[in-house]
Structure 1
Amino acid sequence: MSSPGSSPVRGGWLDPSKGFHADVQPRKRQLAFALRSLCRLLRSTDPHRPGDTPPLLREAAKRLGCTQDSLSRYLNRARIPRAEFIKRLYDEARADATASGQEADITLEALLALHTSALDEQRGRDHPELDDQLDVLTEQIKAPCAACENRHQKQQRDASRLRSVRREITRLRTEVAELKAERSELRATEAGLRADLAALRAQPLLPVPRPPRDRQQRTKDTRAARQLVAQATELSSTGREDLASTLIRQTTAEVMTPAETALVVVGLRQHPGGDQLADDLIHVYGRDQEKEDVMAVAVELHDEGAADDAGAILRASLGHRAGVAPRDQAASASYRT
């Protein structure tokens, strides 16, 4: 008998190369070979194990209504099982084989004939008329089945592809979960910053005439800018530069005034590793915001002593509105410098 389920299982209780005790007679060995082949058709029903794997000895014994020791003796020693065990094993093996697209290469009648011959051998009786039939059955058991082997190889390939797909699905789910967590963190940070800025702007000013650069308003602008710079640089220091850049772009565009935006640029320049974030902010703000806001930011930057940044944000705005390519903008900036 040969089938995908009966392919060699090396080193386990289903190992086809496992030998017999010296007291096992020839007819009992033929019966044992047939029983082993049927056992290799069994599939595990343990939900914690892959579906297309053989069962453990204890699982097979439980399904067949016997002890582990009894099953081992049936397969490897002189002990001959009852006919009821033979029928139960045949039914279980055939059901699992059919579910896997396989088939048992021995009939129940032939199996019971082997069983009867082994019993007669054990009792000292002989049936010469069965010898030829048993020899034919023995050859059938040992003969390879090309169709079964091809099905088994296809099942192995399909199982390998399925495992690869499952690993990829797991990786993508992990990546999606991480992105969702980052998005939630960004939203929470942005919400907190909006609340802080709203609270700062809600503080009443003293009823005194405001000079050209009101100190109280200036303090609010500085505090708001420092909060944003602190949060962005903390994100950047942990390797989340994209998240930091997104936070800065959205907050300066949607929440902050031009004066606060200019102070954010200055604050980033004062932090190690903040230059790239400042450059990105200048480029995006100059490209996307209204020219009045860009000019206001440039004036604030110039007043803060950041003339280079003031020129850069104006060039970013002019280059975008004139449709200048990035390479042409760089050349223009070099020329003006």
Structure 2
Amino acid sequence: MAPEGGQSRAGKWLEKEVAGDGRRPRKLELALALQHLFRLLKPEDSAESGNTLISQAEAAKRLHREGSSLSRYVNPQDPRVPTQAFIEDLHKAACMDAATSGGDVGITLEALRVLRTLADAETRGRCQRCAELGRRIDSLTRQVNTPCPSCAVYQREQDRNAVELQAMRGEVAAMRIAVQEREATEAGLRARLAMAIASKAPLPVPLRKGDRQRSAKERAVARQLAAQAGELDGAGKEDSALILLRHGTTELLNPSETALVMVELRQQERDHLADDLIHVYGRDQGDRDVMQVALELHAEGAVDDAGAILRAALR
């Protein structure tokens, strides 16, 4: 079991004063970056001791450096700057340990090299312009990272426009559905009127089997409903056409007239409407009505459709 306070003692060497002395801002940036990388290194006995920060001695052993050098590298007030080779070794080790946890180090090797070069030039005084250039870089960085008021306003306008556009699309979709339903209703009313006219009682004469007057009336009703559905389908409103056929055949027509509607749809080359009506009628209507439709289809020579409506009833 790890002694109390073991974790804090192991990582004490990384608890350097964050603030620099103001004379070496590049060394301060480099020291903070190095502290971050050292904190990513995992101690070998972390599972047993509970330490999450690597000790100075273990870090020095792993990187093949002296412990005192590491302490000076992470001290913002110490002028000593590590070599490029050390920078590369530390970054590689931190990347390996961070990868085991599914993360990354958060700084590229190239960026770390740039920090090291600037800090080295700053501490050695080899370039009097480095400090001034560094301050300019910091100023430009702050300007770049500061949100542009105009851009923020533009982005808000774009977001608002996107919301309004989405709402308008929803309204248009709802209007299309309403129009489709209204058209189907109007078509149904027209069909009801046409069928009411066509359904006037035949002349008062005794009806005989196969009465030609009754047959003509049924065919007129079927032809009217099929024509109404064909108009909707021709206008690209197939769903409305099917709604009209379903309501017309189930609410207004008898099975014999329904069979004639299917025959009329075939003759008008509206095969897809005929197929859909046969499937829906056979699935939803009672067995007696389905059988009567099938018998009428068979009598009209539509043997395949008669079999199809019976199969639909069995599903």
Scaled by the length of structure 1, the TM-score of the pair is 0.48
Residue 173 of structure 1 deviates from its aligned partner by: 1.8
The answer to whether 1:224 aligns with 2:221 is: yes
Question: What do the CA deviations read for 1:28-86 (whole angstroms, capped 9, x no partner)?
Answer: xxxxxxxxxxxxxxxxxxxxxxxxxxxxxxxxxxxxxxxxxxxxxxxxxxxxxxxxxxx
Whichever residue aligns with residue 196 of structure 2, its letter is A
Aligned to 1:299: 295
Please show how residues 192-203 of structure 1 align to structure 2 within 5 Å.
192-201=190-199, 203=200
Q: Report the count of equivalent residues.
A: 174
Instruction: State how far apart, in whole Å, the 2-side matches of 1:192 and 1:275 are.
Output: 23
Residue from 237, 240, 245 that aligns with 2:237: 240
**Do 2:198 and 2:217's aligned partners in 1 also have CA atoms closer than 8 Å?**
yes
Whichever residue aligns with residue 178 of structure 1, its letter is R
Aligned to 2:182: 184
Residue 249 of structure 1 deviates from its aligned partner by: 1.3
Residue from 189, 201, 204 that aligns with 2:201: 204
Question: What do the CA deviations read for 1:169-199 (whole angstroms, capped 9, x no partner)?
Answer: 2222222222222211111110111122123
Residue 318 of structure 1 deviates from its aligned partner by: 1.7
Greater shift after overlay, 175-184 or 256-265?
175-184
3-state SS in 2 of match to 1:226? helix
Instruction: State how far apart, in whole Å, the 2-side matches of 1:205 and 1:242 are.
Output: 34
Instruction: State how far apart, in whole Å, the 1-side matches of 2:308 and 2:144 are.
Output: 75
Residue 271 of structure 1 deviates from its aligned partner by: 1.5
Question: What do the CA deviations read for 1:137-175 (whole angstroms, capped 9, x no partner)?
Answer: xxxxxxx98898455543332221100111122222222
The answer to whether 1:309 aligns with 2:302 is: no
Please show how residues 71-90 of structure 1 align to structure 2 within 5 Å.
none
Whichever residue aligns with residue 240 of structure 2, its letter is L
Aligned to 1:119: none
**Do 2:195 and 2:224's aligned partners in 1 also have CA atoms closer than 8 Å?**
no
Larger RCO (CA within 8 A; separation ≥ 6): 1
**Do 2:256 and 2:296's aligned partners in 1 also have CA atoms closer than 8 Å?**
yes
Instruction: State how far apart, in whole Å, the 1-side matches of 2:314 and 2:219 are.
Output: 28
Whichever residue aligns with residue 189 of structure 2, its letter is A
Instruction: State how far apart, in whole Å, the 1-side matches of 2:247 and 2:220 are.
Output: 18
Residue from 162, 165, 169 that aligns with 1:164: 162
The answer to whether 1:254 aligns with 2:251 is: yes
Please show how residues 24-103 of structure 1 align to structure 2 within 5 Å.
none
**Do 2:191 and 2:228's aligned partners in 1 also have CA atoms closer than 8 Å?**
no
Instruction: State how far apart, in whole Å, the 1-side matches of 2:279 and 2:164 are.
Output: 42
After superposition, the Cα gap between the structure-2 partners of 1:284 and 1:186, relative to the gap in structure 1 and judged at 3 Å, is same
Gaps of 5+ in 1: 1-143, 320-337
3-state SS in 1 of match to 2:253? coil
Residue from 262, 267, 285 that aligns with 2:264: 267
Instruction: State how far apart, in whole Å, the 1-side matches of 2:232 and 2:197 are.
Output: 23
Residue from 274, 277, 280 that aligns with 2:276: 280
Q: Sequence identity of aligned pairs in percent?
A: 43
Scaled by the length of structure 2, the TM-score of the pair is 0.52
Greater shift after overlay, 239-248 or 168-177?
168-177
Residue 214 of structure 1 deviates from its aligned partner by: 2.1
Instruction: State how far apart, in whole Å, the 2-side matches of 1:145 and 1:163 are.
Output: 28
Question: What do the CA deviations read for 1:240-292 (whole angstroms, capped 9, x no partner)?
Answer: 111111111121111111111101111111123x1111010111000000111
Instruction: State how far apart, in whole Å, the 1-side matches of 2:204 and 2:154 are.
Output: 83
Instruction: State how far apart, in whole Å, the 2-side matches of 1:275 and 1:245 are.
Output: 12
3-state SS in 1 of match to 2:294? helix
Aligned to 2:16: none
Residue 232 of structure 1 deviates from its aligned partner by: 1.0
Whichever residue aligns with residue 162 of structure 2, its letter is S
Aligned to 2:89: none
3-state SS in 2 of match to 1:294? helix
Greater shift after overlay, 242-251 or 281-290?
242-251
Root-mean-square deviation (CA), in Å?
Answer: 2.0
Instruction: State how far apart, in whole Å, the 1-side matches of 2:309 and 2:212 are.
Output: 26
Aligned to 1:7: none
